[in-house]
Amino acid sequence: MTTRPLSALTMLLSRHTKRRDFITLLGGAAAWPLAARAQQRAMPVIGILASVSPAPYAPFIAAIKEGLRQTGYVEGRNVTIEYRWAEGQYDRLPKLASELVESGVAVIILVGGGATTAAARPATATIPIVVVMGDDPVKTGAVAALNRPGGNVTGVSLLSVAMEPKRLQLLHELAPNVAVVAVMINPN
């Protein structure tokens, strides 16, 4: 005897369930893919906090986006970027940092050095903060120590007093006959 699959299923279920239960079961099965999609993680959000205006840092932001793109993240497609620009008004930084934390960003990237770091650190102890700074991160309080930074701040320091002897040692290894080294620094 040949029976259509749906008819066989209906006959089997009719013995053990009521029609209303069967319809509920089918409705649940149809809704399951939608529920599974809804439970997938939302698009990650990256926060960028800057003490400056956007225009001078456009190349920096473009480099961040390019780095993200190279790892498979494209703004608007599978990652969102929230920007907060203080426009040189440093007193706005703590509020802007709090806004990013409250918006649920996954990471905060800082632009503008020590003042930005000083504003972001108290805003969160759990969200990773990535910084590129020209100041000594230990001296500014961004990290506890270079060898064991602790906390949630990470990144690169371009000018660290603790690194100067290592830089001179490396320079000496690269050019052992150099007797005089000059350093130019903007004190401002």
Q: Are residues 103 and 139 in the same domain?
A: yes
Asked if the model's pLDDT at residue 162 lies above 90, the reply is no
pTM above 0.85, yes or no: no
Classify residue 115: in a domain, yes or no. Answer: yes
For residues 59 and 41, which has the higher predicted lDDT (pLDDT)? 59
Classify residue 165: in a domain, yes or no. Answer: no
Contact predicate 66/6, CB 8 Å: no
What the block records as the tokens of 180 is 């005089």
How far CA 165 is from CA of 58, 135, 149, in Å, comes to 34, 16, 20
Q: Are residues 53 and 142 in the same domain?
A: yes
Query: Can you tell me the mean pLDDT for 39-66?
Result: 86
CA distance 33 to 67: 33
For residues 46 and 131, which has the higher predicted lDDT (pLDDT)? 46
Asked if the model's pLDDT at residue 77 lies above 80, the reply is yes
Q: Over the Cα atoms of the chain, what is R_g?
A: 28
Q: What are phi and psi of 118, to 5 degrees?
A: -60, -30
Q: Are residues 80 and 130 in the same domain?
A: yes
Please provide the DSSP assignment of 70-106 as one string.
Answer: HTT--BTTTBEEEEEE-TT-GGGHHHHHHHHHHTT-S
Q: Are residues 64 and 93 in the same domain?
A: yes
Structural domain boundaries enclosing 30: 5-39
For residues 146 and 25, which has the higher predicted lDDT (pLDDT)? 146
CA distance 14 to 66: 59
pLDDT at 114: 79
- Per-residue pLDDT band at 85 (split at 50, 70, 90): very high
Residue 126 is part of a domain; what is its CATH number? 3.40.50.2300
- Per-residue pLDDT band at 159 (split at 50, 70, 90): low
Q: Are residues 145 and 124 in the same domain?
A: yes
Q: Are residues 95 and 26 in the same domain?
A: no
Report helix, strand or coil for 169.
helix
Q: Are residues 135 and 77 in the same domain?
A: yes
CA distance 183 to 137: 20
